[in-house]
Chains A and B, each alone.
Chain A
Amino acid sequence: MEDHNKELSDILNNKLGEDIDNSTVQDLADHIKKCEDCMVDVDTIQQTVKLVRMGDFEVLIPPNVSKRLFKVLGLEE
């Protein structure tokens, strides 16, 4: 295992979810595989996003809200 590098970790978090399209990010990806702290860092952030998504229910517009919107705008539904 490599020593954890906080600076690399911050760059990594900034890139999370972005396309890996340059050598810096590839270097980071290589580092993660060898650094336990970074692995935990990435894994816990990914789990956080997953958990928040699980708790995020689908928001549907209530029929009465839609009806009032059309009325306010002077439109026929």
Chain B
Amino acid sequence: MTDTALESTLIAGAQKGDKKSVSLLVNKYSSRIYAVAFRLMQNEEDAEDVLQETFIIMLNKLSTFEGKSSLYTWLYRVATNVALGKLRKKKNVDDSRSFDKIEFENISSLELADWPDHLEKKFDTEEFRKCLEKAMDELPDHYRAVFILRDLEGHSTRNTAKILEISEANVKVRLMRARLYLRDQLAYHLKCVDRGDYGRP
């Protein structure tokens, strides 16, 4: 039996209330859903909440699943929506993290010099890792979600668009902005930018 045929059988079984089929589906996808939840939420507790909510939704809605997309894509969509919803709520509560401070229109207007060789060695420093983490953390959620799905999880533009329910053009724009923002943060860290143009303290 092929993977697709096996999955269809499991979904059909789960839709009829067969617990064994549900268990096998949960077992198959829970690690990947947890991974994307963790990357989006950036802590274990929230990632676990997203994981549990995603599979509770799966249990409740599976009877209406028509197989227009794969279950995997459908679960990713649910998980990212749950995660982004939680992040939005957090944003409202925690005013100290103002995502709006980033002026995306001005990104990449800086003059770049070529980066030094052997960046991987520089990457080993704690300071550089912190710079990367901070840059990722500062990215607005909808940009970070695209970057995570495309560049870290390896989804195609088309699949990312389906998961986030946005257009492919929107995926490309958000990905470009996320990459440029991260690049500029690293460039600043590497002191390769013309500080006069960048205007940072």
Interface residues of A (CB under 8 A from B): 13-14, 16-18, 37, 40-41, 43-45, 47-49, 51-56, 58-62, 65-66, 68-70, 72-77
Q: How far is the CA of A19 from the CA of B13 in the complex (A)?
A: 39
- 8 additional A-B pairs beyond A65-B34, A70-B26, A74-B19, beta carbons within 8 Å, are A13-B108, A18-B172, A48-B183, A55-B129, A59-B39, A65-B48, A76-B19, A76-B23
Enumerate the 6 nearest inter-chain pairs by beta-carbon distance, A residue then B residue, closest first. A59-B35, A61-B34, A48-B183, A61-B31, A59-B38, A75-B23
Q: List 23 A-B contacts (CB under 8 A).
A: A14-B173, A16-B176, A17-B151, A17-B175, A43-B114, A44-B114, A44-B183, A44-B187, A48-B182, A51-B120, A51-B186, A52-B132, A52-B151, A53-B152, A54-B120, A55-B123, A60-B35, A61-B30, A65-B48, A65-B51, A70-B26, A73-B55, A75-B26
Asked if A48 and B112 make an inter-chain contact with CB atoms under 8 angstroms apart, the answer reads: no
Chain B residues positioned under 8 Å from A48 (CB to CB): 179, 182-183, 186
A34 to chain B, nearest CB (A): 16
Chain B residues positioned under 8 Å from A73 (CB to CB): 22, 26, 52, 55-56, 59
Chain A residues positioned under 8 Å from B26 (CB to CB): 69-70, 73, 75
Chain A residues positioned under 8 Å from B187 (CB to CB): 44
Asked if B55 and A51 make an inter-chain contact with CB atoms under 8 angstroms apart, the answer reads: no
